Chains A and B, each alone.
Chain A
Amino acid sequence: MKHFRSIGLALAATFAVGQAGAEELTGTLKNIKDTGAITLGFRDSSIPFSYLDDNQKPIGYAMDICYKIVDAVKKELKLDKLEVKLNPVTSATRIPLMANGTIDLECGSTTNNAERQKQVAFTNTHYLTASRYVFKKSSGLKAIDDLKGKSVVSTAGTTNIKQLTEANVAKSLGANIIPAKDHAEAFLMVETDRAVAFVMDDILLASLVAGSKSPDDYVISKDAFSKPEPYGIMLRKDDAAFKKVVDAATAALYTSGEGQKIYDKWFTQKIPPKGLNLNTPISAELKNEFAKPTDSPNPDDYK
């Protein structure tokens, strides 16, 4: 792969020399300029970040932010028109599609952490979420300690299941941890009493509850398994020029107060297609982050 990259660099260098005097674009920016198109990766069911409406068109909070980034890129490259291509991704395909150049930005609910930064880059944080759990009101499992000896589900491969496992040991809960394939299936396990609680990012729990058959039956815990962790829009690593444009665009969006408006649109009002209202006003931490945007993967940086 190193070879591919050096060939790519060599080619890029040749082109750069070829058009000496013109702007020296590299990486994603050059690609966008050459093709006149930018590709956004979207998720089909990450409500309200990125999901399909009833016309099968991707919408959501992260999508709105991505479109703002697209505007900034268009302006930066001084293009008259920039075609936006949309490409669906899943948690399994987002890395290969990012690495092979199919998508330029991933607009979803991807947690930004240090381990993942070895592989990709993230722009300024657009959401902060902590690990909590959802339970049936009737079971009354208010505190984490109430989970002692119970069956608890979380989604395989998430940071949440990792935190649950750690808490299980640290607090000697002796809980039976069941990994589920995806969020919908994990929630189904609680719905069908296979597990008493589902540990996940609180905002995803809120959207699952809002979309369930009887939202009033479920409660999301006050107790959290973690500090609020950042979500970021994902882009390719080692592409400083593109990241600079994207970072500047998101920073301008958040500090101008427009970010707050987009936030309110998706989290405190009715959203399509079913008119759900997630009723989640902006947290103090995210408000601080919007004032001083950062792409840090460290939860301690968001106080």
Chain B
Amino acid sequence: MNYNWNWGIFFQPNPMGTGTYLDMLLSGLVLTLKTGALAWIIALITGSIVGVMRTLPSKGAYWFGFAYVEFFRNMPLLVQLFLWFFVLPEVLPRSAGLWLKQLPNAPFWTAAIGIGFFMSARVAVQLHAGIGSLPRGQKMAATALGLTTLQAYRYILLPMAFRIILPPLTSEFLNTIKNTAVAITIGLLELTGQARSMQEFSFQVFEAFTAATILYLLVNAVVVTAMRFLERWIAIPGYITGK
């Protein structure tokens, strides 16, 4: 292969005048972390609500949860972001659409919310499965103790179910971070976006993407380690997930 390797490129000034190429990648990393964190918060909250709804006795709640999950899970994330960013403002009333378009940092908010909703469908499925895996007797026993449905979920079902699904949730968290790369399609210059800019400016494509890969791996290693600690910290001896 006839490629001119230049690892020193990271310490050369970038043509945007914002420091070195490394600074450019790091600013992308910060944006990736921000987007990933906000998306994960949205995914966890919305996903938990929808997941619980799918297990409730109410038919209406079940169908809502079912429709929500199928809607967000069955469309490619890339398409969803495109719809949120380009199509939604066009179908809204003109003034609302215009407000949405002129929102500062519109790509960031669209990406965080869009990825958040997409991942929430996956969290909902996990939680649904987690609650479903609990013995039916648990809910009955809670009712027998005189707990309301809300209390049964709050004190018995959810603490158990969340502990069971914590390992798969770690994967979903990692997926959320990786999925932020799709935000490049709506002009968010996160880590992948900056790596692409770097290769366009300097033509040092392999260096740019090697650095991006390493940064993604580092971030994900931190997340995995943190989640391991969390798992150990909340484990209850004697339970399915306890030691």
Contact = CB atoms under 8 A, between A and B. Distances in A.
The prevalent SS among residues of A at the interface is mixed
A178 B187 contact: yes
B95 interface: no
Contacts of A178: 107, 187
Interface in A150-165: 151, 153, 156-159, 161-162, 165
Contacts of B4: 118-119, 237
Contacts of A165: 16-17
Interface stretch (B155-163, B194-202, B217-225): B194-202
Contacts of B16: 161-162, 165
A1 interface: yes
Interface stretch (A43-51, A62-70, A92-100, A130-138): A92-100
Contacts of B98: 193
B205 A92 contact: yes
B193 interface: yes
B44 interface: no
A189 B110 CA distance: 15
B201 A157 contact: yes
Contact of A118 (B6, B196, B198, B206): B6
A74 interface: no
B86 A188 contact: yes
A169 interface: yes
Contact of A4 (B1, B107, B187): B1
Contacts, number: 96
A120 B199 contact: no
Contact of A156 (B1, B90, B189): B189
Interface in A185-218: 185, 188-189, 192-194
Contacts of A193: 98, 101
Contact of B1 (A100, A238, A239): A100
B41 interface: no
B204 A185 contact: no
Residue of B2, B101, B193, B203 ringed by the most chain A CB atoms within 10 A: B2
B20 to A, nearest CB: 14
B189 A179 contact: yes
Contacts of A226: none
A194 B88 CA distance: 12
A257 interface: no
Contacts of B186: 181
Interface in A1-31: 1, 4-5
A287 interface: no
A115 B184 contact: no
A151 B98 CA distance: 13
Given A157-B199, A158-B200, A181 B187 contact: yes
Interface residues of B, number: 35
A1 B101 contact: no
A115 B187 contact: no
B238 interface: no
A176 interface: yes
A116 B203 contact: yes
A166 B17 contact: yes
B101 A194 contact: yes
A15 B90 CA distance: 64
B118 to A, nearest CB: 18
B15 A156 contact: no
A166 B16 CA distance: 7
A225 to B, nearest CB: 14
B200 A156 contact: yes
Given A115-B201, A119-B4, A156 B187 contact: yes
25 contacts: A1-B1, A92-B199, A95-B3, A96-B3, A96-B205, A99-B3, A115-B202, A116-B202, A116-B203, A118-B202, A119-B4, A119-B203, A119-B204, A156-B196, A156-B197, A157-B199, A159-B201, A162-B16, A165-B17, A180-B187, A181-B185, A185-B185, A192-B101, A194-B106, A238-B2
4 A-B pairs with the lowest CB-CB distances in the bound complex, closest first: A157-B200, A99-B3, A157-B197, A119-B203
Given A100-B1, A120-B203, A157-B196, 10 more contacts: A115-B15, A115-B201, A116-B202, A119-B202, A156-B193, A156-B196, A156-B200, A178-B187, A179-B187, A238-B2
Interface of B: 1-6, 15-17, 86, 89-90, 98, 101-102, 104, 106-107, 184-187, 189, 193, 196-206
